[in-house]
Structures are given as C-alpha cells and as structure tokens.
Amino acid sequence: MTAEERLERIENGWLDIQTALKATIAAQAATNEAIREMAQSIGNDVYASEARMKRLEENLDGLIRAITAEHINGKSKN
C-alpha cells in the first residue's frame, strides 16, 4: 500500500466518522425534541387531572353537605 493509498484510506475513515457523528447528532436532537414534547404532554395531563380532581372534591363536598343537611333536618328515612 502506498503512502497516497494510506492517506486516502485515512481520509475516507474520517469522512465516515463525520457522517456517523452528524447522524448521531441529528438523532439526539430528534430524541431531545420527543422528550420535550412528552414532558409537555405529561404536564398538561397532570394539570388537567388536578382540575378534574378539584371539581370532584367540590362535588363530593356539596353532596356531603346536602346529605348532612337532610340528616340534621330529620329528613333521613332511617
């Protein structure tokens, strides 16, 4: 193998490494974006579930108050 052939082989190796590195960086960027979107989606779901839980607690509180009022007023059929 001549010195020129060795140099060409080394250059081709570097080009392959650069290509692989660019692909790795692009894949990492795509992964980071997917993680960001997933985190945002989870945050939105948590926020929505907290709102639903608050409404549920308010409804339950209202129901407990209504039952208690009926019981205190002697309207209970027990």
Q: What is the pLDDT of residues 22-39, one digit of tens each?
A: 999 999 999 999 999 999
Using a pLDDT cut of 90, give the percent of the chain over it: 86
pTM, entire model: 0.61
User: Which residues, at least 6 apart from 9, have a Cβ–Cβ distance to it below 8 Å?
Assistant: 1
Q: Which residue has the higher pLDDT, 75 or 38?
A: 38
pLDDT band at 16 (very low <50, low <70, confident <90, very high): very high
CA quadruple 73, 74, 77, 78: dihedral sign: positive
pLDDT at 78 over 80: no
3-state SS assignment for residue 75 = coil
Mean pLDDT across the chain: 94
